[in-house]
Amino acid sequence: MSQYLIATIAILGLIPLPVRADEPQKTGWPLTEAERAYVLKPEYERRPGADEKKHLPALWPSTPSAGFWGGTSWLDTHAKLVDYVKANQGPVDVLLVGDSITQQWGSPLDTGVLNAAWKKYFGSYKALNIGIGGDKTQNVLWRMDHGGVEGIHPRLIVLMIGNNNMFFAPETGVEAAAKGVKACVDNLRTKFPKAEVVVAKILPAHAPGNAFYEDIKKTNAALDPLKLESDPKVHVLDLWSDFTNANGTIKPALFTPDNIHLSPEGYRVYAERLKPFLDKTLGGKGLGGDAVVLPKKASEPRPATTNPPAPAALPTGTTPRTADGKRLLYPYAPYNEGKLDPQLTGWPLTDAEKAWVAKGEYIRKPGHERQKHLPEQWFVTPTAAHWGAKEGQDNVWVAHHATCIEKVKAAGQNIDIALLGDSITQGWGGGWDGAPFNAAWQKHFATYKTVNLGIGGDRVENILWRLDHGALDGASPKVIVLMIGVNNAPLITANGAPVATAAHGIKLCVENLRLRCPQSQIVLVKVLPAFDPVADAGRDVTYLNRLLDTLKLDSDPKVHVLDLWREFIHTDSLLKTELYSDKHLHLSPAGYEVFASKLKLRLKQFLPALSAPKLSSAQVDEP
């Protein structure tokens, strides 16, 4: 029987799903040298069917696959959890399995301290948390088969997984994602036949009409026909109505600002719904929460030796330009050939381009047109973001971009400073939303003619698209201040996009600015510390900044790198939360004051005090 036929029968649930035929070690830990080399390949190269050059996306969620964050980072994270499980052999009250929503109950990957909601409701139970942010069902399956739960005997297991599979639902379909959840349940029931298993359906995220929200809802519905509760030891927990309003929108108080992860109040609600299951099985008689043994904390959260240099396929040195000298050539060749985007440069947009950018951003990503997952190309390929409107309707983000273009035109010539970036840049004020320049900018730069082109949520690929579509056409600012990249970090963990490509994306942004504004001085501000600097996306921000150093962008005499890391972080690597309005990402007035004072020292060499008053920043308003 051929591998393809086996896979086809397997997806119908008639026989167990196969792993890749060329995978050298199907189960066990530690890994052999051959297995270690195999799992350090990008995940898309290890998918079922790839060994036979077949595209079988319906099998992805149910076929065990090690995750991949670039280098050995994901594997190192799994190894740390294996050590954690080994240190807690024997009876366990609760085993928590899942992705970042599970991890944030409290994890040995972070502080090791369970959060307030867990301690309040379940503090008497010995609970082991093996959640890894960004994991998909296939990653959980691989971890459980490779030492992830070996030697422990949980009385109850809480599984929540599938959120990150939604990034791939356009290719896999939601039914395949639901079968991936079932495969995780089956794996746990095989390994722990005496344990009760609570399967929490995927929590809502974003808003009705958003593709992610709708696919989660459909995936949850696709779990029902699988009849998980026909097994008397499996219990399904549906939290949808607890986390949404009557009109379907999410309850913002239960989520963090990203509308995906949970706030402390969200974990309280989750805990209250879990409590009846734990009470029935455990009856309040636990082994004690303080019985958990934590592995030793690594001195370096992401050793530089475990992360390879940027892929050789990415451009080095001066990026080649097209024959007309007006745009860059990007690493993803089909984009340059016009096979991915109907208008590579220019403004206003053509009708074809308007229709293109009205599509959801995910289906416009490089690789999607070939039904391939190519996250290593996302950050280095220009892409318009997508805001607000449903797919097929006008893209609100493009309207904000248009407002920024009008601001540049209204400012005319002799712009002193152009600000380019994401929400941290937008937070200076004076941008598309009509907010006045903030106190720090007024204090330090009020005499300089400034335009702010920052748009909250932008990533490096969005900046590339904006530069190619009119952002600074006809302008030659004395100085361009660029800070971008923090919004790329969550996609590194969630989607396996290599950190190195984010650094190269920033490099392309600088080269694009040098091409379009050759007389301008460019101040590149490294990404500020964000999130938890030693975990997940925060750790990737740290590594991204390290990689920027290796690119030596300031070897160009018109490019100047500004590093503010030490100003925003304590010596113990924790954030100076007083400089952040939300304690982890956006800046407070005090944060902007620190930023402005350091930026001023750098800009003085390009913008000496003016002898006569000029149009102030506050006066550069929308036309």
Q: How far is CA 277 from CA 61, 122, 589, in A?
A: 27, 11, 45
Cα gap 240→250, rounded to integer Å = 9
Question: In this structure, how many other beta carbons lie within 10 angstroms of the beta carbon of residue 42?
Answer: 17
Buried b vs exposed e over 394-418: b needs ≥16 C-beta within 10 Å?
Answer: ebebbebbbbbbebbeebeeebbbb
Give the residue from 284, 281, 253 showing the smallest Cα distance to 267: 253
Which of left, alpha, beta for 112 (phi over 0: left; psi -120 to 50: alpha)? left
The pLDDT tens digits for 256-282 are 877 888 999 999 999 999 999 999 999
Task: pLDDT band for 302, please (50, 70, 90 cuts).
Answer: very low
Query: What per-residue confidence (pLDDT) applies to 2?
Result: 40
Cα gap 232→193, rounded to integer Å = 11
Is residue 537 within 8 Å of 544, Cβ to Cβ? no
Residue 335: is its pLDDT beyond 80? yes
The pLDDT tens digits for 445-497 are 999 999 999 999 999 999 999 999 999 999 999 999 999 999 998 887 667 78
Cα gap 345→308, rounded to integer Å = 33
73-290 has which fold? Rossmann fold (3.40.50)
The mean per-residue pLDDT over the stretch 224-253 comes to 97
Cα gap 63→43, rounded to integer Å = 12
The mean per-residue pLDDT over the stretch 503-514 comes to 95
Query: Order of strands, edge to edge, in the sheet holding 90-98?
Result: 127-129, 90-98, 152-160, 196-200, 234-237
The share of the chain scoring above pLDDT 90, in percent, equals 64
pTM score above 0.75: no
Cα gap 571→410, rounded to integer Å = 45
Cα gap 244→237, rounded to integer Å = 15
Residue 325: is its pLDDT beyond 70? no
DSSP conformation class of 309: P
Residue 319: is its pLDDT beyond 80? no
The pLDDT tens digits for 143-172 are 999 999 999 999 999 999 999 998 888 789
Bridge partners of 417? 450, 479
Mean pLDDT of all residues belonging to the chain: 86
- Burial class from Cβ neighbours inside 10 Å (0-12, 13-18, 19+) for residue 94 reads buried
Residue 113: is its pLDDT beyond 70? yes
Cα gap 345→324, rounded to integer Å = 12
- Burial class from Cβ neighbours inside 10 Å (0-12, 13-18, 19+) for residue 236 reads middle
Query: What per-residue confidence (pLDDT) applies to 444?
Result: 95
Residue 296: is its pLDDT beyond 70? no
Q: Which CATH number fits domain 412-619: 2.60.40.1180, 3.40.50.1110, 3.30.360.10, 3.30.70.990?
A: 3.40.50.1110
Six-digit token string for 357: 């950018």
Bridge partners of 158? 96, 198
Q: How far is CA 33 from CA 25, 50, 342, 433, 529, in A?
A: 10, 21, 46, 55, 36
The pLDDT tens digits for 532-546 are 876 667 888 988 998
The share of the chain scoring above pLDDT 70, in percent, equals 87
Residue 310: is its pLDDT beyond 50? no
Question: In this structure, how many other beta carbons lie within 10 angstroms of the beta carbon of residue 590?
Answer: 14
Is residue 387 within 8 Å of 396, Cβ to Cβ? yes
Cα gap 267→200, rounded to integer Å = 13
Task: pLDDT band for 427, please (50, 70, 90 cuts).
Answer: very high
The pLDDT tens digits for 120-138 are 999 999 999 999 988 999 9
Is residue 453 within 8 Å of 420, Cβ to Cβ? yes
Buried b vs exposed e over 182-200: b needs ≥16 C-beta within 10 Å?
Answer: bbbbbbbbebbeebbbbbb
CATH 3.40.50.1110-classified regions of the chain: 73-290, 412-619
